[in-house]
Amino acid sequence: RGWQQARQNLRDFADLMMQRETEKQGFTLSYIKTVTWQAERLLNQETPLESLLTQYQDARAQGRNTEALEKQINERLDGVLSRWLLLKNNVVTTTATETEAGK
């Protein structure tokens, strides 16, 4: 969810930049740094599985030990597959939006 939130925050910031540009207004450096820091923090919450796979591919190509990456990838794949099966079999009844609202 961190990736989705960071993407939405960046989209909102881009919209705000366009609006401020139209209105001939600007941003403080502090505000820009805050938006950047928040996006980075959200993106660092969890490495996307696709990125882990790329890291694994690179590590193997370089002959490095991949045990830790393999473990991390397997855990993530197990989690994704378990969630997929639950969703597919209608075991999970709340939507992602409802889950987020309940936090």
Give the model confidence (pLDDT) of 40-82 as tens digits: 888 888 888 988 999 999 999 999 999 999 999 999 999 999 9
Give the rounded percent of residues in the chain with a pLDDT score beyond 70: 87
Which residue ranges make up each domain of the chain? 2-43, 49-101
Per-residue pLDDT, 103: 46
- The whole-number pLDDT of residue 98 equals 58
DSSP string, 29-88: HHHHHHHHHHHHHHHTSS--HHHHHHHHHHHHHTT---HHHHHHHHHHHHHHHHHHHHHH
> pTM to 2 decimals?
0.57
Please tell me which residue, 97 or 40, carries the higher pLDDT value: 40
| Predicted local confidence at residue 46, as pLDDT | 82
